Structures are given as C-alpha cells and as structure tokens.
C-alpha cells in the first residue's frame, strides 16, 4: 500500500521561502517510472499542478512558478522536497504531494495521480 504525507510550516511570512517535505512509503523513487508531483489548491478554488520529479531525477515545473520552485528527491529517505521562494499571500493554499499512477495491465506509469497525501494548509501572512 502506497502512502504519502506532507509536512512543513503552516504559516510563512511574505518574501520567505517555503519548504515542504513529502514522505512516502510502499514505493521506491529508484524504481523505473515512479514519480511524485506537487499540486496545490487555494481555499475554495481549483487544483494547480506545481512540479513533478521522476525516478531518474528528471523534473518538470509549472512555467508560471518555475523561477520560484525547486523539487528534489532523497530516495534513501523516501522523501521529495518542494521549495518555493518569495512567498506571497496569493500562495495561501493546501499543498498536496501525489504519486503517478501505474497501469496494472501494462505496467506503464502515467502522470495522473492515484495516491495523494492528506494535504497541508499553508497560510502566507505577516
């Protein structure tokens, strides 16, 4: 069974850097095809994809946030870390990490997300 859990500060000040950690179990980021993404959701609004890291350390970023966001992984700790610089009140949201789905029939991984963490609410305020 795959599980993911986000951790990090619940409150950050404007201009500060946010660091969130996704700790997972039941899967290895060293396994071909595996990937973990970050998605956020402002209160009452839609989902927004932020970043994705693959087993081979390839990375993808949302263009609108690329200059502010970095995603890294530590397979030995089963963790993926998201950092976001220059935080602003508009970045107030629930931040989720999620696992890429593996099609059971073919064994191929796709970038839809089948297992999500519970989410962590981050408020940006002075």
Q: Is 3 in the site for another protein (CB under 8 A)?
A: no
Q: Is 112 in the site for another protein (CB under 8 A)?
A: yes
Residue range at the interface with another protein (CB under 8 A); choices 20-28, 67-75, 79-87, 117-125: 117-125
Residue range at the interface with another protein (CB under 8 A); choices 20-28, 47-55, 68-76, 77-85: 47-55
Cβ 47 to another protein shortest distance, Å: 4
DSSP labels, 86-114: S--GGG-EEEEEEEEEE-TTT--EEEEEE
State how far the alpha carbon of 45 is from the alpha carbons of 9, 16, 31, 100, in Å: 21, 23, 34, 23
Q: Cα–Cα distance between 43 and 30 in angstroms, integer?
A: 34
> Which residues contact another protein by CB under 8 A?
37, 39, 46-49, 52, 60-64, 96, 98, 101, 103-104, 110-114, 116-119
């Amino acid at each position: 069974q795959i599980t993911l859990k986000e951790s990090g500060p619940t409150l950050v000040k404007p201009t500060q850097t946010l660091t969130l950690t996704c700790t997972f179990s039941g899967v290895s980021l060293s396994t071909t095809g595996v990937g973990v993404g970050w998605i956020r959701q402002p209160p009452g609004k839609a989902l927004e994809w932020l970043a994705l890291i693959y087993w081979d350390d390839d990375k993808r970023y949302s263009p609108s946030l690329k200059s502010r966001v970095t995603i890294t992984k530590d397979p030995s700790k089963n963790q993926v870390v998201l950092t976001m610089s220059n935080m602003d009140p508009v970045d107030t949201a629930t931040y989720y990490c999620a696992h890429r789905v593996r099609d059971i029939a073919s064994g191929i991984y796709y970038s839809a997300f089948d297992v999500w963490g519970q989410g962590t609410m981050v408020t940006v305020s002075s």
